[in-house]
Amino acid sequence: MSIKKIVKYGASSLREKSKEVHKISKKIQILVDDLYDTLYALNGVGLAAPQIGENVRVFVIDVGTDPKTMNPITFINPKILKKEGAVNSYEGCLSFPEAYTNVRRYKYVKVKALDIKGRPFLLEADEGSLLARAIQHEFDHLDGVLFIDHCRNRFEADKILTEKGLNPVDANYLLDEKELEEEIQKNPPSPEEK
């Protein structure tokens, strides 16, 4: 359909709680098409509706790296049913151009959502997979939570945000994740983690 402009960090709508979808209307179908068009245009992994200016509970993910392995997954009214383990993840977000920082995530998630036809599905993301992280990241967007709220080092995050001309971390949104942090420190990082 069309490539949309990304809502950037600083916009108050990124902090809003999004509304449930009550009907898979034409409008929702167009929204999903726009999410994919925008995601692929920007070479992203996931994109949530609030990031293109629609505060509804919809996001899309594609962890495929080339056109042959494209694997688009649409999540409507998602619920995270189970989350386990902890992992450090070096993450960014299309709403924060070129800003990456270390965040805490669960290793594994089990999610329930509706697909574009309104059919419920269950999905278990492998431990430590990109899909598991992407689900948590995009799900957060629906509740107005941003990846920097999970940052492991507020000063590291502030430094990179400032360098990119973005507002620093807002302490009011920082999440207390003591258990996740302890769990991460117990496990040695894998080579791709920093």
Positions marked catalytic? 138
Query: Given the complex with Zn ion, which of 47 and 114 has the nearer CB atom?
Result: 47
Structure tokens at 166: 């973005």
Structure tokens at 48: 């949530």
Angle at 93 between CA 61 and CA 175, to 5 degrees: 105
Q: Which residues make up the interface to Zn ion (CB under 5 A)? A: 93
Q: How far is the CB of 192 from Zn ion (least distance, A)?
A: 20
C-alpha span between 68 and 71 (Å, rounded): 9
Query: Which amino acid belongs to residue 91?
Result: E
C-alpha span between 35 and 19 (Å, rounded): 17
C-alpha span between 69 and 65 (Å, rounded): 7
Q: How far is the CB of 170 from Zn ion (least distance, A)?
A: 16
Query: Given the complex with Zn ion, which of 86 and 93 has the nearer CB atom?
Result: 93
Q: How far is the CB of 147 from Zn ion (least distance, A)?
A: 6
Query: Given the complex with Zn ion, which of 28 and 52 has the nearer CB atom?
Result: 52
What Rg value do the Cα atoms of the chain yield, rounded? 16
Q: Please check whether residue 131 is in contact with residue 63, taking contact to mean a CB–CB distance below 8 angstroms.
A: yes
Count how many residues are written for the chain.
194
Closest-CB residue for Zn ion? 93
Q: Which residue blocks in 25-73 are alpha helix, DSSP H?
A: 26-41
Query: Given the complex with Zn ion, which of 24 and 89 has the nearer CB atom?
Result: 89
Q: How far is the CB of 135 from Zn ion (least distance, A)?
A: 12
